[in-house]
Amino acid sequence: MHDPEAIRRALNVVSAVALLDAVLLVPLVIAAVTHAEGTVNILGPMHGAGFVILIGLVVRGTIRDMWGWWFPVLAVVTLGPPGCLIGDLRIRKTLPRAGGS
């Protein structure tokens, strides 16, 4: 297993990007439902870029054997932020406490 601190640092990045992408996703969905095409045209590509970055981050962690392939699958199925935040919590539960053994 990797150093728990390295996994925490990787998860911190995933969580930060997931939260930012979630902030974009909520108004994007509202804009799509209300047919606000101008807003969708702006927020859509931004959310898309955030989604691609999130998938890249969780695949990278998987390839580095920090967590299993379930994490990127969960991220894809939930459109990014929700799955990444759920995966983050699940992985953190398995790590030893910071500063302790």
Residue 66, pLDDT above cutoff 80: yes
Tell me the pLDDT of the chain averaged across its residues.
93
Q: Check if the beta carbon of residue 20 is closer than 8 Å to that of residue 54.
A: no
Residue 51, pLDDT above cutoff 60: yes
Distance CA 28, CA 43 (A): 6
What amino acid occupies position 77? V
| Longest pairwise C-alpha distance within the chain | 53
**Class of residue 28 by CB neighbours under 10 A (exposed 0-12, middle 13-18, buried 19+):** buried
Q: Check if the beta carbon of residue 80 is closer than 8 Å to that of residue 25.
A: yes
Q: Please compute the mean of the pLDDT values over residues 52-76 and round it to a whole number.
A: 96
Residue 100, pLDDT above cutoff 60: no
Q: Please compute the mean of the pLDDT values over residues 63-74 and round it to a whole number.
A: 96
The predicted pLDDT at position 75 comes to 95
